[in-house]
C-alpha cells in the first residue's frame, strides 16, 4: 500500500492537491518533518520501502525523481526534449521497480538484503540532528506568531543541515504558485555545480 506524506508546515497548503488527487490511500501531513528526523528525509519526493514485518528494504531515496528541472527554461518552465524524456524514464523505471517488489517481495531484484539496506542508510550526524531540532523549534515559533525568531532558527537549522532541501525550502519564501522557487532557490541550486539535487538512486536504469 501507499502512504503519502506531505512535508508541509502550513497545514492548509497540501489540501487542494490532496482533493484533486482523490487518493485511495492514506495521505498524511507532517507539519514538523517528523519523517526527516526518523528516516533522514532531506528532499521530496523521497520514499522508503517497508516490508510486511515493518523492516526497511530500501532506505530513504529520491522516488523516481530526475533533476532535469535544473535545465528548464526558467521563464517559460519548458523542458528540453531530452530532459523531458529522461524525467519520464526515471519515473517509469522507479514505478516498475515498486510494482515488481509489490508482486515479488524479498524475491524482487529491487528489494535490498539487510546488509545492502544498511549500506544505503542516510548518515545522521550531531549537526543534522541538532538542525532538525532547530527546525522543529522554528516551526513552533512560526505557528505562534514569532516569525522573526523563527526565521533565525530556520537559517541556523539549514546551516547545520545544508543537504536538507526540506529545511531550506520550508524556511524560504514562495512564488505566486506556492513554490519555494524564488531567485534565491535557483541561486542555491546553481551553487550545487556538479553535485546532485536528488541523491543518486542505486537502481539499474535510473539516470
Partner 1 sequence: MLLTESGEHEVTGAEVSTEALWCSAKDALRATGWEAKPEGLCKGEVCVPLPAGRAREFVDGGRINLAALWRHLGRPAVRSERGHVWVLSESARERQAALASLEAPDFALPDPSGRMHRLSDYRGKKVFLVTWASW
- Least distance from C-beta 176 to partner 1, angstroms? 13
CA atoms within 13 A on the CB side of 197: 19
**The three grid cell numbers given for residue 77, joined into one nine-digit string:** 518552465
18 or 199: whose CB is closer to partner 1? 18
Contact of 33 with 132, CB cutoff 8 Å = yes
Of 130, 163, 158, residue with least CA distance to 62? 163
| Contact yes or no for 115/56 (Cβ under 8 A) | no
Please, which residue, 51 or 202, has the CB nearer to partner 1? 51
The nearest distance, CB 82 to partner 1, in angstroms, is 25
The CB-of-173 to partner 1 minimum distance in angstroms stands at: 10
Half-sphere exposure of 121 (CA within 13 A, CB side): 13
29's enclosing H/E stretch is strand 27-29
Between residues 82 and 179, which has the closer beta carbon with respect to partner 1?
Answer: 179
State the nearest-atom distance from the C-beta of 8 to partner 1, in Å.
5
User: Nearest approach, Cβ of 83 to partner 1 (angstroms)?
Assistant: 21
For partner 1, the closer of residues 82 and 202 by Cβ is 202
Q: Which is nearer to partner 1, 3 or 82 (CB)?
A: 3
End-to-end alpha carbon distance in the chain: 26
Amino acid at each position: 500500500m501507499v502512504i503519502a506524506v506531505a512535508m508541509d508546515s502550513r497545514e492548509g497548503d497540501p489540501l487542494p492537491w490532496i482533493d484533486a488527487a482523490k487518493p485511495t490511500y492514506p495521505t498524511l501531513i507532517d507539519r514538523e518533518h517528523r519523517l526527516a528526523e526518523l528516516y533522514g528525509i532531506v528532499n521530496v519526493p523521497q520514499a522508503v520501502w517497508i516490508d510486511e514485518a515493518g523492516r526497511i528494504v530500501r532506505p530513504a531515496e529520491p522516488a523516481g525523481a530526475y533533476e532535469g528541472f535544473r535545465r528548464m527554461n526558467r521563464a517559460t518552465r519548458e523542458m528540453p526534449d531530452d530532459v523531458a524524456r529522461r524525467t519520464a524514464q526515471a519515473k517509469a523505471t522507479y514505478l516498475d521497480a515498486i510494482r515488481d517488489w509489490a508482486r515479488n517481495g524479498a524475491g524482487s531484484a529491487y528489494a535490498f538484503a539487510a546488509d545492502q539496506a544498511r549500506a544505503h542508510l542516510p548518515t545522521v550526524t550531531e549537526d543534522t540532528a541538532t538542525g532538525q531540532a532547530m527546525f522543529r523549534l522554528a516551526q513552533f515559533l512560526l505557528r505562534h506568531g514569532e516569525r522573526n525568531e523563527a526565521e533565525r532558527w530556520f537559517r541556523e537549522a539549514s546551516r547545520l543541515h545544508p543537504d536538507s532541501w526540506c529545511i531550506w525550502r520550508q524556511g524560504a519564501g514562495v512564488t505566486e504558485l506556492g513554490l519555494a522557487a524564488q531567485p534565491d532557490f535557483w541561486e542555491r541550486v546553481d551553487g550545487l555545480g556538479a553535485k546532485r539535487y536528488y541523491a543518486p538512486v542505486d537502481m539499474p536504469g535510473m539516470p
